[in-house]
Copies of this chain bind each other. A is one copy, B any other.
Amino acid sequence: MTKIYYFDNAATTFPKPECVYKALDFANRNLAFNSGRGIYSSSKQVYEMIQDTKNKLGKLIDADSSTISFESSATESLNLIIYGLDLKAGDHVYISPFEHNAIVRPLYNLQSKVGFTIHIIPFDKQTWEVNLDELHDEFTQFCPKAVFLSHISNVTGYVLPYEEIFSLSKSFGAVNVLDCAQSLGVLNPDKRNIDFAVFAGHKSLYASFGVAGFYDLSNYKLQIIKSGGTGSDSLNHFMPENGSQRYEAGSINSVAIAGLNESLNWLKANPPYNYEKEMTDYLISQLLTIDKVRLFLPKNHKRILGIVSISLDGYSSTDVGSILADDYNICVRTGFHCSPFVHDFIGSMGSQGTVRISISAFTRKDDIDYLIKAIRSL
C-alpha cells in the first residue's frame, strides 16, 4: 500500500498500537464468547476480562469500576444519558457552542417532543473564554437542569474550561455531563462535579470501534432507554434496577473490550499527552508561518490539544481536502464535522467549514513537515 499521511485522528485514531491489533485478533479467536451468560470457563474468563478492563478504566479518573457501563459508541452513550435524564417542559439545558451532533441532535429531537429550553453557554468569540458572570446571571434566571460539555472540541481541539462551568452549574443543582470522546486516555478529566463522563474507545483511547461507554458518578438514576437481555433475571420483564447491567442490554462486545484492555496497558506504559502536546504546538507554530492559512485558535494557544482547524484564503475547505488527498495522500477532514454551532462562533461559515488536522501519538514530526510543505504549495 502507498503510505498515507493520516491527519484524521479526531474521527478515529489510526494506526492503533500493534499490541492492540494482536489483542483483537487473539480475542476474536479466543474470547468471543458471551460474557457471564454461560457457566463454562470461557464465559467466566470473558467476564473477568471485562471487569479487569473496567478496573483499568476506573483508574484513569480515580473512579470505581462499578460506575462504568459499556456501550457500542459514545453516540449511543450520550443518547442513553440525554433521554434517560427525564427532561421536562420548562426545564433549561445548557450546552457550549462547541458541541457535537451526538449531543445536539438527541437534545433537539427530545426538545421537539418535550419542550424544554436549550441555552448556548456564553463564550467570548475573541478569546474563547467563558463569560462566567453572564452565565451566572443566566443560571439564576433559568436554573440549569443539565449541562453538556465536550472536554475537547472535535473541531478546534479547544480544551474547554469545564471545571469552572461545572462548579457553577453544580451550585445550581445541575446534572453535569462531560463528553470525553476526544480526551480520555490522553487527557483525563478531574471527576469533581462531573455526573456522567462519556468515552469512545476508538478515538483517544486507541482501541477499536465497538467499545465506548460512560462513567456514572452521580446519584442520578437514569430512566431505561435501551432494554434487552442481560443474561440475568430472565423472567423479569424489566431491566435490572441496579448495577451497570441496567444500561448494558444485549451481547456485550467482548472482543472490542479486550482490545481496549490492551490499549489501556499501552497508554499506561506510553502516556501520550506530552508528545501529542508537543506535536500540536509544533503544528500550530508551522501553520502560523504560512500567510494564506487562517487558524481558528483561542487567545491562549496552549488550550489546544491534538486538533487544529484552518482555512485557506481562496479555497473552500473541501477543495483543500481534495487536493491534499489526491496529490499528496494526505488524509484530513473537511467541512462542518458534525458540529453545528461552532462555525458561526469561530467564523468558518464562509470557508464552508474548516480543514481539520488531527494528530495522534503516532504522528511524526516528519509527517507534519510533509503536510506543511503540501499546504504551502497551494
Interface residues of A (CB under 8 A from B): 1, 4, 6, 8, 11-12, 14-16, 21, 24-25, 28-30, 32-34, 37-43, 72-76, 78-79, 100-102, 104-106, 108-109, 112, 200, 202, 208-210, 224-231, 234-239, 249-256, 318, 321-322, 324-325, 329-340, 343, 353
Instruction: Report Cα–Cα, A11/B42, bound state, in Å.
Output: 13
Add 5 more A-B contacts to A11-B34, A25-B28, A38-B332 (CB < 8 A). A12-B251, A40-B325, A101-B230, A105-B228, A106-B227
* 17 A-B pairs (CB sep. < 8 Å): A11-B38, A11-B251, A12-B34, A12-B251, A15-B29, A21-B25, A39-B321, A40-B329, A73-B228, A101-B229, A102-B229, A106-B228, A112-B238, A209-B254, A210-B256, A234-B338, A234-B340
- With a cutoff of 8 Å between Cβ atoms, the chain B residues found around residue A334 in the complex are 39
| CB of A352, distance to nearest CB on chain B (Å) | 11
Cβ-defined contact, A108 with B237, below 8 A:
yes
Q: How many copies of this chain?
A: 2
- With a cutoff of 8 Å between Cβ atoms, the chain B residues found around residue A209 in the complex are 32, 210, 251-256
- With a cutoff of 8 Å between Cβ atoms, the chain B residues found around residue A42 in the complex are 4, 6, 331
- With a cutoff of 8 Å between Cβ atoms, the chain B residues found around residue A38 in the complex are 8, 11, 321, 325, 331-333
- With a cutoff of 8 Å between Cβ atoms, the chain B residues found around residue A29 in the complex are 15, 21
Cβ-defined contact, B235 with A336, below 8 A:
yes
- With a cutoff of 8 Å between Cβ atoms, the chain B residues found around residue A33 in the complex are 8, 11-12, 14
